[in-house]
A and B are shown apart, each in its own frame.
Chain A
């Protein structure tokens, strides 16, 4: 038996107005006013568009299984502190047969910094393992400061305790769509 988790993402972008002023002088010296208009900006990307967890050996049904580490699975850029939340669109479905999506946990770990310059502090990041839920966003990443192109690695797992939920089911691919959302903190 095999389950496919499909991943989708979207970004929230906020714009605000800006102000400019002017100054000029002539003679032996002259000047201009240089303005930097700073506004909030956010972006979230998902590295792998499809992730699978195999449930096809006796060991999988006894001890559970996972997707293996999905390196750079969630990539966040934010000029402020942020939170990443995850939700499933449906239960795991296969031709009308459902398996609770809550049998799958999402575990984030800190990944690589792909932004420019020195990597910013990660002392203020909190990573939380959460089970997926339909239509309910669960916070898995919270960070108090912004950064650009911060990767998080993710493992999707079915625990030994949940593995029996996959017994007595028609073989095939059970899938759902998982959405990661980025919020300003």
Chain B
């Protein structure tokens, strides 16, 4: 006996396969600083007379957050460091001025209208909120200018020349 095997195709039916697609949603947050080092010059008399700024640091703060968020800022010390030790110059002589920056995802997503930016924060070693009520977004930049106002330049008189530094720390938190 001969068995003849004939494939049978049923019109309208094709092979099927299935897989399950899982989207795992978890909180994810990141913050980075675009410019690792920022300078303010006090090298000309006009700087001492009128104060000076770092100029605008474009998209200085770069944030991504799956939740609404706020950002606070502090310095590592209440005084600028000089030659490996603390100087007598307080970091409160410097103001941080933040403004809305760019959407950094490439999608030109407009900034949240709920975001509140504190226009000027006096630097200190205590966390101070600079941005709050920001809506979750993929990658958002904020511009920052560091400024020594004219009323604070007297702290820099009668000091050894050189570079006075501090580390400015930005912290991202869900809101």
Query: Could you tell me which A residues sit within 8 Å of B by CB distance?
Result: 11, 13, 15-16, 18-43, 77, 79-81, 115-118, 120, 145-149
List the count of A-B residue pairs having beta carbons below 8 Å apart. 170
CB pair A37 B151 closer than 8 Å: no
State which residues 143-170 of B face A: CB under 8 Å: 146, 148-154, 156-170
- Report whether over half of chain B's contact residues are helix, strand or loop; otherwise say mixed: strand
Contact yes or no, B165 A21, CB < 8 A: yes
Q: How far is the CA of A15 from the CA of B55 in the complex (A)?
A: 21
Does A117 contact B154, Cβ atoms closer than 8 Å?
A: yes
A36:B172 contact, CB within 8 angstroms: no
A36's contact among B35, B61, B148, B151, by CB below 8 Å, is which? B148
Interface residues of B, Cβ cutoff 8 Å to A: 29-33, 35-45, 47-51, 54, 60-61, 75, 80, 89, 94, 146, 148-154, 156-173
Q: How far is the CA of A35 from the CA of B168 in the complex (A)?
A: 10
Main secondary structure of the interface of A (DSSP, over half): loop
For A14, give the chain B residue with the smallest CB separation: B161
- Given A18-B163, A20-B163, check contact A32 B35 (CB 8 Å): yes
- Residues on A with C-beta less than 8 A from B167 are 23, 31-34
Given contacts A30-B33, A34-B168, could you give 18 more A-B pairs where the C-beta distance is less than 8 Å?
A18-B39, A19-B162, A25-B33, A29-B171, A30-B31, A31-B168, A31-B170, A33-B166, A34-B40, A34-B165, A36-B40, A38-B161, A39-B41, A41-B45, A42-B45, A43-B45, A116-B150, A148-B154
